[in-house]
Structures are given as structure tokens and as C-alpha cells.
Structure 1
Amino acid sequence: MEHDAVEHDALETPNLSFGRGDQPGRGTPYADYVRLEELHALQRPKSDEPAELSFIITTQVMELLFDLLRHEWTIARQALRADDLPAALAALRRGTHTQDVLVESWGLLATMTPREFNAFRSLFGEASGFQSSAFLQLEFMIGNKNAALLKMYDGMPRVRAELAETLRSPGLYDEALALLARRGLAVRPETSEERHRPSEEVAAAWRRVYTEPEFAGLQPLGEALLDVAERVTRWRQRHLSTVKRTMGGKPGSGGSSGLAWLRRSAEQDVFPELWAIRDEL
């Protein structure tokens, strides 16, 4: 009975057109809207190892989530610049849900044994997640900037130009500090193309946010940024443990030092002043 009801409802529901999907021979509106044929044609394993499909799909999903997170952080940056704190907090909150899914995505790769991974690892040559421009966009946006990394994209002018623009532009934390300055806190925001370095001036401003009633309204921003930072650390830690489990201490495929590099990354605090002042609160 339930099955019959579903079929009846489908026949009676008006056809919702998304582009060309409702035309004869074009497929369903849903398939057209989400580009199903293209999406499901992107997985092309190079080996007969079953685990390779999981590796490819998980990596592709991560790339899409990187784009979604960049979208939310861009909205947050714009809202902060416009002094619209509620909109900024909403975007950061949506972004943390995306981050949570990204962190959990490592579980799909952690199931691979070294034998399974080695069965196809050599087939992707020097390809490495370290080369992901979408991921690098996120790193630049949280202040982990390094202009030397643009060299990887010399053969991709459009991608290189986009990354260079993000490198030059105020990041998420820069915009937060600029808002603090406009609210009367002694911070001199300085956009830099280098990695953010901890500053006592910045720490003092956040300390006042958490200890002086006049600035208490900015505490949700500090906590939202800490939510972002904590999830970045979780991502890095999960990356480290997954690599350690699936390939051990071998050098990374892109030429990195593998576990040593991942360990250093996992130990690096994001938005460091927000962590440093916790000792005093």
C-alpha cells in the first residue's frame, strides 16, 4: 500500500523543471540539477583493488566540502567586514558542521590496510592531497600563509591568480581583529602574506573581550573562532593518525616528509592568541 501511494503521489506531483531535465530523453529534473551523469563518471580507478574506489570517492567528497567551507568562510569574512556579527556567527556555525563531516571523512580511509593502499599507491605517482588548491585556499584563509606554495600552480594561471588574491587579502582572523579594532580595542590589523605570528597586542585585546563587561558582546565571536580552530586541529590529527595507520612512516607521495610534516602541522595552533589567554581566564 505504501509503495502504491508513493507511485500515485509521484504521478500527481507537478513536474519541477531544473534546466533541461524535464524534456524527453534528457533524464529526470533531479539528475539534471545535480549533474548526476557527470558526477558518477568521475570515479576512474587505475587498479583492481576495491579499496581504491573508496579512496577516490572520499577524496572527491573532501574537495567538494573544501569548496563549501570556503563559501561559508567567505560569507563570514564579508559579514565581519560589514560589522554584521550575527551573520558572521551564523556562517561560522554552518562551517563547523562542514568541518565535522570533513573530520569524520577520514574514517573511510582509515579502514584501508597498508597492503590495500600499496596496491594502487604507485599508480597515482606524485599526486598528493598537499597539492589541493581548494585546501590551500582554506589554509590561507585561516592565516597559515606561505607564498612559496604558489609555485606549484605556475602551470595553472587561473588557480594561481585566485590563490595569490587570497594570500594578499585579509583572512578570517584578520577580519575578526579589524572588527575588534572598530569596537574600541587596541589592535592594529595588518594583512600579511606570511603566516600569522602570535602577538601580545592581539592577546591583550582578546583578554579584554573575556574580562571586561564593555566588550562581552564579542565573546561569541571568540568562541566561534575557537570552534573553527579546534576542528582544524582535529582534521590535522585525524589526517596524521590515518596516514600512520595506512602507510606508516613512508615519505608522502608529493615529496613531503609524511608523518613528520603532519605531526608538526597538528601541533600548530590556529588563532593562537585565543588559546594562549585560556591560562589566565
Structure 2
Amino acid sequence: MQCPFSQGAATPATAQAQAPDYHGAQLDFSRDMSYGDYLSLDTILGAQHPLSPDHNELLFIVQHQTSELWMKLMLHELHGARGNIAGGQLPAAMKMLARVAAIMNQLVHAWDVLATMTPPEYSAIRPYLGASSGFQSHQYREIEFLLGNKNATHLQVHRHKPAAHAALDSALRQPSIYDEAIMAMARGGLAVDAARLDGPWDRPVRSDASVKAAWTMVYRNTGQYWPLYELAEKLVDLETAFRLWRFRHVTTVERVIGFKAGTGGTEGVGYLRKMLDVVLFPELFELRTEL
């Protein structure tokens, strides 16, 4: 007698009947583009090359590679938003700025994963990192430049990468997103000092009394200046998300390495804490006290 749990030889008919139901999905991709082809998954999933024998290094690599991918999308959206503000297309710009804020919030939670790495686990891979450091991320630096936190000294870090250096130099010398927003206010009939509208653009933003007065007018007359009011709030959302991202960064670093110097030569947590004091859009936060 045949065992009730044994599998008899399947005939072509029974094999077809037992085949999984893929609901009409295509199964043969010998000639057509597949999901993996479209996303270049072989390249992406083959781009992790741990240097240490430690199990936890893959986490460290994936954390930073995925962050760089999100930053690539942020730059795409920020460049688009800047162009739309300059062209008077404020609704399109606001959609892009909202997306960037959402990406930053995504990256805030990404630190939760890296925070599972304990100090002994990080110490096991640190000797293999050399002088590499997140401080050297040219994409992060370009995001800062586009948002107005500019420092020409940081260009020196990227002289060995001509394409990255050129992109940063361009972002340094062009108006930031906030500069473009201020020029949009001036085009809308609000009084802004000419000196604030003429550049140069390669310096960090400083609070300007005429800009504060103009934004205050917008907030006190929202019906008259509704598009500018909405833009201002999207900028506040963006800076709020950026501050949370930076704060989560410094707390994760302190949790994992304490107050050790950074691998790139910075003072580590001390440097990151100083960055928490940077305000990107000062007048938009200052005016709230007076409203």
C-alpha cells in the first residue's frame, strides 16, 4: 500500500494542476525587462564590501548607503523647488519641499536601526574605516548649501572628486532656496533691502531686519499673501525636519562612540552639537515671538 504521505509521480496534467497560481503574472524574463533589471539590483545589492570580519559592518554600510540614496532624491527635489520658486511656480515648489521634509523624517527613524549597534560592535569595525567619515558626504554638504548653510572652506574636502567639487561650488555661488523665497517676496511687492537681494550668495544666511518685516507682513495678512504664507510654512516644516535629523544623528553618535574624535578628524559629538545651533531660515522663527 502506498504511504498516504508519499508523493506519487506527477503526470503533466497533475503537475499543471498543482502549479502555483500567479494570477496571470509573467514568469519568463529572458527577453523583457524585469523588476531587478529596472532597479539595477545586481549593482545595488553587490555594492556592499565589508572590510572587517565583523558581522555588524554590513549594518553600518547599508545604513549609510541608503542615506545617500535618500539624499540623492532630496537634491533632485531641492533643485526642482529652487527653480520653481525662481519661476514663480510656488505650488509645485511647495509639493517638492513637503517631499524633502518627509524624506528627512524617514532618515530620522533610520537612526533607530544604527542605534542597535553597541560600542563594542562599532569598536570592532572602526579600525577598518580609515579616515572615511560622514563629514565627507558631498551630497549632505550640497543639501546644506541649497538650504543656505554655506561655508567655502568645506569645498576643500572634495578637491579630489572634480564632479562633486563642481556641484558644490555651483551650489555655493547660486542663491539658496531661502534666497529665492526672499526674492519672491520682493517680486510680490514686499519691501526687502536691495543689499539682501543682490548677493553675494556664497555666505551663510544672516538675519535681516527688512526680511523679517516682510515675512511679518505676510503672516499678518495671510489672505493677501496666501501663496507666500504657505511657502513660509513649508520652509518651517523643512527646517524642523532638518533639526530633528541632525539631533537624532548626534544622539546616535553619542550612544555608539561617546565623545571620541570622529574618524574624519572632527571632534565627533562636539562638532555635531555645534551644528544643532545653525538656523537656516532665521527670520521665519524670529517673527513668531512678535505675532
> Does structure 1 conserve the Cα–Cα contact (< 8 Å) formed by 2:48 and 2:61?
yes
State the match for 1:23 in structure 2: 31
1:208 aligns with 2:224: no
Q: Relative to 1, partners in 2 of residues 1:185 and 1:29: Cα closer, same or farther, differing over 3 Å?
A: same
> Does structure 2 conserve the Cα–Cα contact (< 8 Å) formed by 1:185 and 1:205?
yes
Q: How does 1:174-213 map to 2 (within 5 A)?
A: 174-187=179-192, 188=194, 189=197, 190-212=199-221, 213=223
Corresponding residue SS for 2:25: helix
CA–CA distance in 2 between the matches of 1:246 and 1:270?
A: 28
Tell me by how many angstroms 1:108 deviates. Answer: 1.3
State the match for 1:158 in structure 2: 163
1:236 aligns with 2:246: yes
State the match for 2:265 in structure 1: 255
Q: How does 1:219-230 map to 2 (within 5 A)?
A: 219-230=229-240
CA RMSD of superposed structures (Å): 1.9
Corresponding residue SS for 1:9: coil
Tell me by how many angstroms 1:202 deviates. Answer: 1.1
Tell me by how many angstroms 1:191 deviates. Answer: 4.4
Tell me by how many angstroms 1:179 deviates. Answer: 0.6
CA–CA distance in 2 between the matches of 1:226 and 1:126?
A: 35
CA-to-partner distance for each residue in 1:211-237, whole Å, 9 max, x for gaps?
A: 124324421111000011001100110
- Out of 93, 98, 101, the residue aligned to residue 88 of structure 1 is 93
CA–CA distance in 1 between the matches of 2:121 and 2:209?
A: 48
Tell me by how many angstroms 1:66 deviates. Answer: 0.6
Identity between Structure 1 and Structure 2 (%): 38
> Which stretch has the larger CA shift, 149-158 or 76-85?
149-158
- Would you tell me which structure has more helix in proportion to its own residues? 1
Corresponding residue SS for 2:143: helix
CA–CA distance in 1 between the matches of 2:30 and 2:185?
A: 51
Q: Which amino acid aligns with 2:24?
A: D
1:279 aligns with 2:284: no
CA-to-partner distance for each residue in 1:132-164, whole Å, 9 max, x for gaps?
A: 111111010011101111111222222211110
Runs of 4 or more above 4 Å deviation: none
Bigger radius of gyration? 2
TM, length-normalised to structure 2 = 0.88
CA–CA distance in 2 between the matches of 1:53 and 1:47?
A: 10
CA-to-partner distance for each residue in 1:217-275, whole Å, 9 max, x for gaps?
A: 42111100001100110011001100000000001111111111111101222211111
Q: How does 1:124-135 map to 2 (within 5 A)?
A: 124-135=129-140
Unmatched segments (≥5 aa) in structure 2: 1-16
CA–CA distance in 1 between the matches of 2:138 and 2:38?
A: 26
Tell me by how many angstroms 1:23 deviates. Answer: 2.8
CA–CA distance in 2 between the matches of 1:39 and 1:214?
A: 49
Corresponding residue SS for 1:112: coil
State the match for 2:228 in structure 1: 218
Q: Which amino acid aligns with 1:264?
A: K
Corresponding residue SS for 1:164: helix
Unmatched segments (≥5 aa) in structure 1: 16-20
TM, length-normalised to structure 1 = 0.91
State the match for 1:106 in structure 2: 111
Q: Which amino acid aligns with 2:225?
A: F
Tell me by how many angstroms 1:208 deviates. Answer: 0.6
CA–CA distance in 1 between the matches of 2:155 and 2:248?
A: 26
CA–CA distance in 2 between the matches of 1:159 and 1:269?
A: 25
CA-to-partner distance for each residue in 1:7-52, whole Å, 9 max, x for gaps?
A: x4114x8x8xxxxx7538xxx6211111111111111111222221
> Does structure 2 conserve the Cα–Cα contact (< 8 Å) formed by 1:237 and 1:266?
yes
> Does structure 1 conserve the Cα–Cα contact (< 8 Å) formed by 2:101 and 2:242?
no
Q: Which has the higher contact order (CA 8 A, sep 6+)?
A: 2
> Which stretch has the larger CA shift, 265-274 or 186-195?
186-195
1:10 aligns with 2:25: yes
CA–CA distance in 2 between the matches of 1:51 and 1:279?
A: 47
> Which stretch has the larger CA shift, 262-271 or 185-194?
185-194
State the match for 2:3 in structure 1: none
> Does structure 2 conserve the Cα–Cα contact (< 8 Å) formed by 1:76 and 1:91?
yes
> Does structure 1 conserve the Cα–Cα contact (< 8 Å) formed by 2:90 and 2:227?
no
